[in-house]
A and B are shown apart, each in its own frame.
Chain A
Amino acid sequence: QVQLVQSGAEVKRPGASVKVSCKASGYTFTSYEINWLRQAPGQGLEWMGWMNLNSGNSGSAQKFQGRVTMTTDTSISTAYLELSSLGSEDTAVYYCARQATSIWSWYFDLWGPGTLISVSS
């Protein structure tokens, strides 16, 4: 079955870091890029960054630069998002999503179920 499975919900203190995992199955992991997005409670979707699973190259939205690290372990078809210096504004559901391409567009055709990260003192 083609799917992305994410790690479980976590509660973190302000200033801490969190690492979310995203394990792919049912397709060739390195044939697609993985993107990370988040959704604060009751809010819309926010794109955080992307990672090429072959080259290890990655890029992130400017607001997260310096705080986000994306890595991968291709031997277990798993991508990771680490976010540091957490604040209450980072409370959100974090999604990984597979990026597919067409001649006109890149798009997210497969999503993980999401990981709720709560930041609270």
Chain B
Amino acid sequence: DVQMTQSPSSLSASVGDRVTITCRASQNIYSSLNWYQQKPGKAPELLIYAASSLQSGVPSRFGGSGSGTDFTLTISSLQPEDFATYYCQQSYSIPYTFGRGTKLDIK
């Protein structure tokens, strides 16, 4: 199985900050990497697919980059509604696997 290592596991930041979350795959997954946001008690929502493609309706302050084994999710200017948990997920091979999540909270 492809192991996904996400860091940091938690992060405190302020409104307006630029934030970066990283995800590393245990093998080359090309661009088969997706990012999700989850708020407490809610289902995850897709932010970025194929490493860098912004899902329709997602604000442009969210951006994804990377390929191969190393990927990054960047939020350019944090808004109050962005405080949530973020997960990366590889879709290169079954079983699809997720990172353990990054909980982003207010400093």
Contacts and interface: CB of A to CB of B under 8 A. Distances in A.
Range of interface residues on A (Cβ < 8 Å) = 20 to 34
Given A105-B32, A108-B44, A111-B43, A47 B50 contact: no
B46 A105 contact: no
Interface in A38-52: 44-47, 50
Interface in B60-103: 87, 89, 91, 94-101
Nearest to A48: B95
A105 B44 contact: no
Nearest to A6: B43
Interface residues of B, number: 27
A16 to B, nearest CB: 25
A100 B100 CA distance: 23
A50 B91 CA distance: 12
Contacts of A50: 94
Summarize A's interface: helix, strand, loop or mixed.
strand
Interface in B26-54: 30-34, 36, 42-46, 49-51, 53
A107 B45 CA distance: 11
Nearest to B97: A47
A59 interface: yes
A87 interface: no
A107 B50 contact: yes
A46 B98 contact: yes
B98 A47 contact: yes
B10 to A, nearest CB: 13
A59 B94 contact: yes
B99 A105 contact: no
A35 B36 CA distance: 15
Contacts of A44: 87, 98-101
A-B interface, 4 closest residue pairs, ranked by CB to CB distance from nearest? A111-B43, A104-B50, A105-B50, A107-B49
